[in-house]
Structure 1
Amino acid sequence: MKTNLTLIGMPGAGKSTVGIILAKTLSMGFIDTDVLIQINQQKSLQEIIDAGDYMHLRRIEENEICKLNITNHVIATGGSAAYSEPAMRHLQTISTLVFLNVDFEEITRRIKNFDTRGIAKADNQSFQELFAERQILYRKYADTIITCSDLDQEEVAEEIASTYRNKM
């Protein structure tokens, strides 16, 4: 049985915050792959993009995810993790993937630091184009989709926890 839960979704969907609440609720460990990257690279995500480009960040992210060898954890991924087939296949073998689906209007309301947040996207790509592109990927890999726009973070975590408990 897969003992990890992996949260996927757009920046601003609440993966990190919901992940922490969910880990406490289910008495699991918690890991945020964005934080893991920043610790191992000794740079912020934006600094990594600025020093190379967004594809460099995606390669680092893929490498960090593929190295994960953990059990009984909630894993919050970066928003661009879904671009990596090897990373997503690895996550599928070790965890149940949960897509935190938040509509475009709510994401844009939540994200105030779009240009400095370290979002891995092409320079000429609008946030709306990025959103549309990623929705397809998140749905492709998700075992479960949680519609989050009308729920607070505790309600999202509880919905995931009750779904997860029922599958155990």
Structure 2
Amino acid sequence: MVLALVGMPGSGKSTVGRQLARKLGVGFVDCDQVIELRIGMAIKDFFASQGEQAFRDIESQVIDDMTRTACGVLATGGGAVLKEANRQLLRERTQVIYLRVQPEEIFRRLKNDQQRPLLQVDDPKLKIQQLFEERDPYYQAAAHFVIETNRPRIPTMVTMIVTQLELAGLLPIETPAT
């Protein structure tokens, strides 16, 4: 089984994904890292030189490739769900977990991050709000599970995800050792 994490930039997909993979004893793949290896440069630089559409095309190829694996945790890019084809691939081939976080919290987490191309604008707080309003319906449509991630610590989020997967019958229920 592949678990795909979707959500806004700063929602914790990579950080939670690594911890979740470790807890489940499976591999972890960060789509953004795979993309950077393929394009041979930072995403920010590729965005600036080639544009968003070229980036989204490569992102789609990576999602297609990475969702063919038998098991693991996949952290997608924040805009991965913008394309219908990506949403469909993710829903069909993976269990999609939407790490949902409110715009104010995203801003708090990312206000000093200079590596996010879509946030290099005059009013990043407004941009985050606009992106959230645009993308939230797509994340919701793609998701099998929604986890609210406003303030919980990473281990708590991992436990929340594992519990949801157990309740859905996708993982064996862990019983405490006696």
What is the TM-score normalised by the length of structure 2? 0.86
Task: Please point out which of 53, 58, 61 is paired with 2:59.
Answer: 61
Change (3 A) 1:122 1:58: farther
Correspondence 1:161 to 2:162: yes
Larger RCO, structures 1/2 (Cα 8 Å, 6+ apart): 1
Equivalent residue number for residue 147 of structure 2 = 146
What residue identity is the alignment partner of 2:31? T
Alignment partners' CA distance in 2, 1:119 and 1:158: 31
CA distance 1:95–1:53, change in 2 (3 Å): same
**How many residues are treated as equivalent by the alignment?**
166
Alignment gaps of 5+ in structure 2 = 171-178
1:117 alignment counterpart? 116
Question: Gaps spanning 5+ residues in structure 1: where?
Answer: none
Return the letter of the residue paired with 1:42. Answer: G
Q: Aligned-residue CA RMSD in angstroms?
A: 2.1
CA distance in 2, matches of 1:113, 1:85: 31
- CA–CA distance in structure 1, aligned partners of residues 47 and 122 of structure 2: 11
- Tell me what 1:46 maps to: 44
Aligned to 1:74: 73
Distance 1:53 1:113, change over 3 A: farther
